[in-house]
Chains A and B, each alone.
Chain A
Amino acid sequence: MREVREIEINSFADTLKVRPWPVTPPPSKEEVMKVYARRKAEEFGKFTEEILGFESVFDKPEALQGLKVLDVGIWRLGNAFASSLLAELGAEVIKVEPPTGDPLRQLTPFGREEYMLKDAERGEPCGLEFIAEMRNKYSITLNLETPEGRELYKKLACHADVIIENYPPGQFDEWGIGYRQISKLNPRVIYCWIGILGQWGPLKDRVSKYGQWMLEPFAQAANSYIHNTGFPQDLLPRGSGGDPTRSGVWIADYAAGEQAAVNILAALYYRDEFSGRGQFIEVTSAEALMEIMDFDISWYGFNRSIKARTGGWDPNLNQYAWNPCKDGYMMIGGQTDRLWYRICMCIERELPQFGRLITEDPFLKEIAARNAFQALVKTYTLTTMWLRENTRAQVEKKLLEYEVAAGPVMTIDEVAEFPHFKYRRWVDIIEDSNYGELMYAVSPNSYQHRTPARVKWMGRPLGYDNAEIYRRYLGLGYEQLRELKEKGVI
């Protein structure tokens, strides 16, 4: 653990300094042991820490060691996330980029170059989004628009177990390097295409308004995700609003990436255990997100209801919502009678009116009845009357005394300082040889007993591994690479 530095704020200029991390050290083992002891779980606590803890992650084998993956995608995160998941589990992932680089390298908040990282060797700026999804991957450049580049690609593809691709529908097939052609050369290849709407069907060639590729937001928009995220017009947020809202991240692409990784692992099992042959997989962001859209489609099919936005309120449960409080927003959850009355008791201590208007209301005593919309309005109005007097920390403390699930809506600096995550090393810092010290969230797959996922490095500059990969798989020497480079092939 790094040395803990103090931050002293004496002037406005001090507030602009980069904060040290961690500001406070994580809880010690002794402190956590006391937590385990409270429920007599010392032994189980020790056991799980021993087999899942971060200390031994790098001494353990990797589940997918020896698996070779080509990630031939640009612009989107679906392919990048799918191959990140495989790379974290030990696969050798080679990211094939055009000689100009994946355009995703250039994406940075508001186009500001100061938020990009420069690699130590060439000082080329690279966006953080790209670096985060470049973990454990090798970067090579290859110009697939040249016949020579496509020949090299074919040779490379002969070595691959998995190819993840996201070019426009049929583009690789047209170039003679699609699944139909590659599977003849390498029948064991598992070929996964990730797109937005799909490479077959009436909308397969649809581009966005100005003729660009279909990108992730179209997937969010295409499956009602955006429509039912945000506040309804009748219940505006603090200022004004009520408009549909996108997710803060490219969630449809991430959903597609996760689905693609599951598909690929299933196809690998089938290949290695049964058929000995690879297969073609297609995953689309719109459909991947549609699958996790809760009950919207069933409800529509049932009685043509269009599920509305309800902002921070869950339409199925009361209480189960985040509402404003003194210094932000507070999530309070509890549907069953046990939790309902505990919340009531806690709030009544300080706001007796809550007891008169909520606890004593006969209508609200029944679980199903208190889900009615007017009951939500009533409950949350009074709850917020209490919340406005309390900060998130105060609310959390008071509700936890009553064993009620309560969690503040946290910002990322608070997440990075959250003692639980610091203790588990879920938030960590990596010393990357190219990009220096980077903070990152450890893969959730790294809490595995025998083959945990791990992050070995974060980003890679463009074409960093050309020499290594082309030598290893195609036997190309330095001179040949130089010639190819001059011709614009790599």
Chain B
Amino acid sequence: MCDIIWCKKCNTVNYLDPYYFWNWEGKVQCAECRTVYYIHMIQGFMYAGPEEKPGEAPDILPLYADKPLDGYTNYLPGTEGRTRPFQCQPREIYLGKPDMVKFSIRGRPVRGWAPQPPSTGFLGSFGFAWDVEKLSPEVWQEYQEKKKRGEVKDW
């Protein structure tokens, strides 16, 4: 923002960073007394609010808050339940373990595994015709079990 929410109840200044809040509408929770305020930001200006919304859930927490009249005591980014964390990390979707696609929807082993198993070797890639049993016994085993369960179909 571009702006602050100075909570008059507890004299806490909640800082709204310039980028996220430049154009934003929603509810922010005071880090100290947890009062929920509605704000509507347009082009960096607070068009509406802060308006108390008792009993409603906040959309977002401030990144940082402090109390200038109380020796500048503060809540650092990422204080549980008070300020939101700033992890500078890749999004969760990038942090998860990728699903390895080994079987087609018909249950047959497919070529394009991602990521490739270690048995492919350094930078290796299986060709169209390969010996699953020999090259990747773990997938072969899984394939046999699928067959037993009747999950492998011709079409």
Binding site for B on A (CB under 8 A): 202-203, 231-239, 242, 308-311, 323-324, 353, 356-357, 360-363, 373-374, 377-378, 380-385, 387-388
| Assembly CA distance A400 to B88 (angstroms) | 33
Closest partner residue, chain B, to A372 (CB atom): B76
Flag if B15 contacts A378 (CB, 8 Å). Answer: yes
Chain B residue numbers with a CB within 8 Å of A234 are 63, 84-88
Closest partner residue, chain B, to A241 (CB atom): B19
Chain A residue numbers with a CB within 8 Å of B89 are 232-233, 308
Most chain A beta carbons < 10 A, residue from B15, B17, B84, B123: B17
Flag if B45 contacts A238 (CB, 8 Å). Answer: no
Closest partner residue, chain A, to B20 (CB atom): A236
Flag if B86 contacts A388 (CB, 8 Å). Answer: no
Interface residues of B in 88-136 (CB under 8 A from A): 88-91, 122-123
Flag if B1 contacts A385 (CB, 8 Å). Answer: yes
| Assembly CA distance A361 to B73 (angstroms) | 10
| Assembly CA distance A337 to B126 (angstroms) | 61
Chain A residue numbers with a CB within 8 Å of B123 are 202-203
Chain B residue numbers with a CB within 8 Å of A360 are 68
Flag if B88 contacts A385 (CB, 8 Å). Answer: no
| Assembly CA distance A238 to B1 (angstroms) | 10
- Among A311, A353, A356, A374, the residue within 8 A (CB) of B76 is A374
- Please tell me the size bucket of the interface on B: 20 to 34
Closest partner residue, chain A, to B88 (CB atom): A308
- Among A233, A362, A377, the residue within 8 A (CB) of B72 is A362
Flag if B13 contacts A384 (CB, 8 Å). Answer: no
Closest partner residue, chain A, to B72 (CB atom): A361
| Assembly CA distance A308 to B122 (angstroms) | 29
Chain B residue numbers with a CB within 8 Å of A382 are 4
Flag if A381 contacts B16 (CB, 8 Å). Answer: yes
Flag if B68 contacts A324 (CB, 8 Å). Answer: no
Flag if B64 contacts A378 (CB, 8 Å). Answer: yes
Chain B residue numbers with a CB within 8 Å of A237 are 19
Question: Distance in Å from the Cβ of A396 to the closest Cβ of chain B?
Answer: 18
Question: Distance in Å from the Cβ of B5 to the closest Cβ of chain A?
Answer: 11
B44 within 8 A of A: yes
* Chain B interface helix/strand/loop/mixed: loop
Chain A residue numbers with a CB within 8 Å of B2 are 324, 381, 384-385, 388
Chain B residue numbers with a CB within 8 Å of A231 are 19
Flag if B72 contacts A235 (CB, 8 Å). Answer: no
Question: Distance in Å from the Cβ of B118 to the closest Cβ of chain A?
Answer: 16
Flag if A374 contacts B17 (CB, 8 Å). Answer: no
B50 within 8 A of A: no
| Assembly CA distance A57 to B3 (angstroms) | 52
| Assembly CA distance A235 to B16 (angstroms) | 10
Question: Distance in Å from the Cβ of A206 to the closest Cβ of chain B?
Answer: 8
B11 within 8 A of A: no
B144 within 8 A of A: no
Chain A residue numbers with a CB within 8 Å of B74 are 363, 374
B58 within 8 A of A: no
Question: Distance in Å from the Cβ of A102 to the closest Cβ of chain B?
Answer: 31
Closest partner residue, chain A, to B71 (CB atom): A362
Flag if B77 contacts A384 (CB, 8 Å). Answer: no
Question: Distance in Å from the Cβ of A208 to the closest Cβ of chain B?
Answer: 15
Question: Distance in Å from the Cβ of A89 to the closest Cβ of chain B?
Answer: 41
> What 8 pairs between A and B have smallest CB-CB spacing?
A308-B88, A388-B44, A384-B18, A238-B22, A374-B64, A234-B86, A381-B15, A232-B88
A233-B1 in contact given A202-B123, A361-B72, A388-B45 (Cβ < 8 Å): no
B66 within 8 A of A: yes
Closest partner residue, chain B, to A381 (CB atom): B15
Question: Distance in Å from the Cβ of A112 to the closest Cβ of chain B?
Answer: 31
| Assembly CA distance A357 to B23 (angstroms) | 23
Chain A residue numbers with a CB within 8 Å of B18 are 323-324, 380-381, 383-384
Flag if B19 contacts A311 (CB, 8 Å). Answer: yes
Most chain A beta carbons < 10 A, residue from B4, B66, B85, B88: B88
A381-B1 in contact given A232-B86, A388-B44 (Cβ < 8 Å): yes
Flag if A377 contacts B77 (CB, 8 Å). Answer: yes
Flag if A388 contacts B43 (CB, 8 Å). Answer: yes
Most chain B beta carbons < 10 A, residue from A236, A310, A385: A385
Chain B residue numbers with a CB within 8 Å of A310 are 88
Chain A residue numbers with a CB within 8 Å of B44 are 324, 384, 387-388
| Assembly CA distance A374 to B20 (angstroms) | 15
